Amino acid sequence: TMRPHRGVAPGPPLFGAGSGAARSGGGNLRGVVGERIKQTLQLAAVAVLLGVVVVQWARFPQRYKDLETEWEVLEKEATQLAADRSLAEGSIYADEWSDPENWSALKQIQSREVEPLPSFTEDPERAYAQESVSSVDFTVGKQIAKGDKFAVLTPPKILHGARKIVHGHTWEQAGKMARTVRGGGGAQATTPPPLAKSAETFLKTDPATDAIEDDPRQLVSIEQEGQRWAMHRGTGVATYTLLDADGGVFSTVQIPAVTVDGTPLLGFESNSASLPGVTTLHASGVQLSVEPLSPRALSLTWQVLDNSARVFVVRLRDNSTGGIFGGGERFNGVNQRGNVLPMKSIDELGSKPARSYKPVPFVMSTGAGYGIWADSFVEGEFDLKASHPHVVQLTYTETRLRLVLVGGPLLAQILSEYTRLAGRPRVPPKWVLAPWKGRDVHKNRAEVLADVEQSRAHRLPASVLLIDSPWQTGYNDLTLNEEQFTEADAMFARVAALGFHVCFWVTPFINRRNVVDMHGIQPWASKTFGPAQKMGALVKSATTGRPQVVKWWKGEGGRVDFTNPEAVEWWHQQLNLTRRWGGRAFKADDGEGGWFQPGAEFADGASLADMRNRYSTLYSKAMLEYVDKYLSGDGAVLMRSAFGNSARSLVWAGDNDASFHPTNGLPTVIAAGLSAAMSGIFLWGHDVGGYLGAATKPCFVRWAQFGAFSLVMNQFGQSNKGPWDYDAEALDIYRTFAKLHMQLFPYLYSLTHEAVHQGIPPLRPMALAFQHDPKATTREMQYMLGPSILVFPIYSQAATHRCYIPHRHAEAAKPSPDGQLREDKWIDFWTGELVPGGAELELQVPLNRIPIYVQPGSVMELLPPEVDTLLTAEELLGGSLDPSVTPLGIARVLQVWPGGSSFVRSSVGASDLLPAQSGGNSQLLSTVELIKARLQAPQLGGRGLSRLKIELQRSRQVTLHLLWCAVEGNVVQLTSDAGGFVPQQIKCLRTKDDLNRQVTACVLPNLMGKVQVEWAGLQT
């Protein structure tokens, strides 16, 4: 529509019949002609406008290309600036950027506003480059602030932030200046006053000074088999040295004097009243206790003697160039070197950067081979070489700060020892490792039944139905809303008959006022609020003595005070109401401590500073205690929040976009899972398809493929879509990967045992699994699932995907003594092709696959593909299983991937290498595949093993050496589809192996294809 300019009366209609005068016949010819001319001009104007649109449209591809080129330029500039930062030492970097022309160029970079192109928003690396460009001013400002020498050229906004960390940045430069001054270099007069002050501090606390050598009597030290700690009493400077197996030094971490409220702790004196095995010293009103915890760990505890809260700053000089891993579930990446991590559990709906639902105050250094754990609930800060390229800095405001140093040198050793000290999760029930099905809202009975009926109709395996909010009559009265779910008894009976346990959503809020987001919910107080207030079960306000009521997304309420044992028992009684409906699991939401307001008062007298992080640990503990007490341990808790070692339940990754977006989509969730694994959070999962919004078909499929190779595969999201709501191709792909996840159950279950007993995560980042391979350690978006499966999740819609195949072991690429290269190949999971370690692959990956490779020599225990649920009829609370559903049985499949030294991971958590009994026959050693199956009756429903299928995954002739735990007299029938194989009956003989168990041995020479092993009533 051609709109008139403001204030001008509208003209005649574009295609009208002329003016009123002309229509009435009272006008003259001039008026008619004038009208026609105006109409013609208007038509011409429209034509010109359309022409402009067409021209602009034609130019769009070129504009798109221009934007693409501009983006590449920005990326290169950002990369160069990042490189400059890493090379910066002393004032060199500051001198370079002090030139006003450089600042002008920098501002030009910052002023560019390029709209992110659709193809690039899916690429995290390009998004990171853009972020680097936008934040480079602060980076430069921090470097310039290294002595305020160039402060006059630094924009005030940048300088304000830079000065906050000037002490950390002056450390390197101050050390250089200090040594110059000490050596009489004549530089003292030209040293800027702030830098001279830092140099003076450096002289007192620099580990490179001669203080320890000058007076060894000032040295206090503790040495054990794998570690040595030493400190100079006068300077407060300490070292932590890691020793190798021969007693040699692997690496040394220098710990300058700890500062308390900005003052270094100097001049330590010994305490005579130290406890046995504990070295105690004191200085400036602070007591330091040093206690060896194991040959790999020792603790350092600073206690303020007057019990006042002080600001502790602990620095570790780590000159290594490797990565730093851990710090909790983080969405910004796996390697946290160069980041500042707040140790604060926070609920973040959108882009999360370095924030976390599950912070863990523990990190590991690959280069220096140590870990450090801050055993504190206070919201501290880990500066991981962000402020200084060689300094890890921890800042805490505490009355008592306890740090634990853990030695390696391998990350697996550090992580195992940390989790041994801090705590590990429990082995979950088997059924939680099957796929889950849920939706953000089940509006009614029909939608509940649709999820379970459709899952079975489409042969989609699953064992858990998740019912999120709303489902109660009030938040949180744990009473089923029977207006929402009519005929509830029959509904839940059908859910059980189809092989599902039910998981109910809960939060610790007890509402005084409810959001009415479903019919059947009352707007006033939940029926649990009055009793909870009366018995003191809610966190109180110190000013009023009544419950501290806060606003949250479901209304207004108080939170259960889990420091009060009576409140915990009351909470258990409320949870127990769900047993009527088959409740076996809880999705425990909203445990983050940020909801508390100043003045919150807790029953045990805990401070708010502690409880902001501690609350989630008490929440989790109370939920798991309910499972033990009321469900005999056969229940599960899925939590969003955690802190430190509290992640002993299942956890999920929180609220993420249903997209490939690099700031809150699938790429960030992959990073979150792998960073969690490096922090001791092992039983981890995520919402398949993403939570916020509706996933496209490619996004849903790629997310499902990642979910299949995660521990918890939960198909859930705001869109309420099921796999059947996409097209037939997406449904078929989902079915393939859901079945694969179900088949992997015995393998996954063994990995949970390994996590619990050895402290090694199921999802293993490259830096953990292949620390010996420098290239592998930098690949953050690929991982090992257990020891056997190499996974490359696809997290964008790019046409090709880069995959790096790691070297399987440190000596892989080096010739053996006979001049031959050692075996270093992987087997393609889909094709069986061999791929060499160290290969850089550029792959075009079809939608129905992701790259997966298997280590040769792997033997994986699997389920048959027809299993629908990990429940048995006996586990369904007395219900009857629908005959169309195939439950967990006693059949197993062993997949053998020939090569190397084979072993099996069984459902009892066995992990053993069986030495070959070859009688010195070296030729036999190179071809024998060894399988050791510890499949014991109590772990298989109490009925023994009736059938075991062994699949040789490549058509290669091998000799199979089977050893079975068996009872004398049983007969084993062996058949095979291999050509020329003669069926055999083998009678079990009584023999003994090195573990004093009865075994049966048989050798099947020259076997190709598959072998089926069957027996009846075998006692195992």
How confident is the model over 908-927, as pLDDT tens digits?
332 332 222 222 222 222 22
- State mean pLDDT over 157-183: 36
pLDDT of residue 879: 65
Q: What is the pLDDT of residues 193-206, one digit of tens each?
A: 444 444 444 434 44
Q: Which range is least confidently modeled, 659-663, 674-678, 790-794, 901-905?
A: 901-905
CA dihedral 447, 503, 433, 644 (to 10 degrees): 130
20 by DSSP, 3-state: which?
A: helix
Q: What is the pLDDT of residues 720-753, one digit of tens each?
A: 999 999 999 999 999 999 999 999 999 999 999 9
- Reported in sequence order, the residue ranges of 500-616 that DSSP labels E, i.e. its strands, are 501-506, 509-514, 540-541, 550-552, 555-559, 583-588, 600-601
- State mean pLDDT over 104-129: 36
Please state, in angstroms and rounded to a whole number, the distance separating the CA atoms of residues 78 and 889. 57
Does this model's pTM top 0.85? Answer: no
Please state, in angstroms and rounded to a whole number, the distance separating the CA atoms of residues 750 and 756. 10
Nearest-Å Rg of the Cα atoms of the chain is: 33
Task: Give the whole-number percent of the chain exceeding pLDDT 90.
Answer: 56
Residues pairing with 341 in the sheet: 382
Token pair 């573990």 is found at: 995
Please state, in angstroms and rounded to a whole number, the distance separating the CA atoms of residues 198 and 196. 5
Q: Is 924 in contact with 959 (CB distance < 8 Å)?
A: yes
pLDDT of residue 86: 36
Most confident region among 151-165, 384-398, 802-816 by mean pLDDT: 384-398
Please state, in angstroms and rounded to a whole number, the distance separating the CA atoms of residues 876 and 890. 18
The closest alpha carbon to 200, from 269, 123, 266, 260, belongs to 266
Residue type, 860: M
pLDDT surpasses 70 at 876: no
- Reported in sequence order, the residue ranges of 354-463 that DSSP labels E, i.e. its strands, are 359-365, 370-374, 381-384, 391-398, 400-407, 436-439
Return the H-helix or E-strand segment holding 232: strand 227-232
Return the H-helix or E-strand segment holding 783: strand 783-785
Structure tokens at 716: 């859930």
Please state, in angstroms and rounded to a whole number, the distance separating the CA atoms of residues 675 and 323. 12
Please state, in angstroms and rounded to a whole number, the distance separating the CA atoms of residues 709 and 644. 25
Please state, in angstroms and rounded to a whole number, the distance separating the CA atoms of residues 417 and 434. 30
Contacts of 87 (CB under 8 A, 6+ apart): 93
Residues pairing with 932 in the sheet: 963
Q: Is 709 in contact with 788 (CB distance < 8 Å)?
A: no
Please state, in angstroms and rounded to a whole number, the distance separating the CA atoms of residues 801 and 810. 26
Please state, in angstroms and rounded to a whole number, the distance separating the CA atoms of residues 505 and 581. 13
The side-by-side arrangement of strands in the sheet containing 400-407 is 269-270, 279-283, 286-294, 297-304, 400-407, 370-374, 359-365, 324-328
- State mean pLDDT over 561-565: 98
Please state, in angstroms and rounded to a whole number, the distance separating the CA atoms of residues 372 and 364. 7
470 preceded by cis ω (within 30°)? yes
pLDDT of residue 35: 73
- State mean pLDDT over 544-561: 96
Work out the pLDDT band at 72, boundaries 50, 70, 90.
low
Helices then strands, counting H and E runs in the chain, come out as 23, 50
859 by DSSP, 3-state: which?
A: strand
Return the H-helix or E-strand segment holding 241: strand 238-243
Work out the pLDDT band at 942, boundaries 50, 70, 90.
very low
Backbone φ/ψ region at 416: left (φ over 0), alpha (ψ -120 to 50), beta = alpha
Q: Which range is least confidently modeled, 84-88, 434-438, 811-815?
A: 84-88
Please state, in angstroms and rounded to a whole number, the distance separating the CA atoms of residues 549 and 564. 18
pLDDT surpasses 90 at 250: no
Number of alpha carbons in the 13 Å side-chain half-sphere of residue 669: 35
Q: Which range is least confidently modeled, 182-186, 395-399, 598-602, 863-867?
A: 182-186
Please state, in angstroms and rounded to a whole number, the distance separating the CA atoms of residues 715 and 709. 13
User: Measured at the alpha carbon of residue 567, what is the angle toward residues 564 and 573, in degrees to the nearest 5?
Assistant: 150
Work out the pLDDT band at 881, boundaries 50, 70, 90.
confident
Q: Which range is least confidently modeled, 222-226, 577-581, 625-629?
A: 222-226
Work out the pLDDT band at 54, boundaries 50, 70, 90.
low
The closest alpha carbon to 513, from 469, 557, 552, 560, belongs to 557
Q: Which range is least confidently modeled, 41-45, 577-581, 635-639, 682-686?
A: 41-45
* pLDDT greater at residue 48 or residue 667: 667
pLDDT of residue 307: 95
409 preceded by cis ω (within 30°)? yes
Please state, in angstroms and rounded to a whole number, the distance separating the CA atoms of residues 952 and 934. 19
- State mean pLDDT over 819-829: 74
pLDDT surpasses 70 at 314: yes
657-682 residues labelled b (16+ CB within 10 A) or e (exposed) = bbbbbbbbbbbbbbbbbbbbbbbbbb
Average pLDDT along the chain: 76
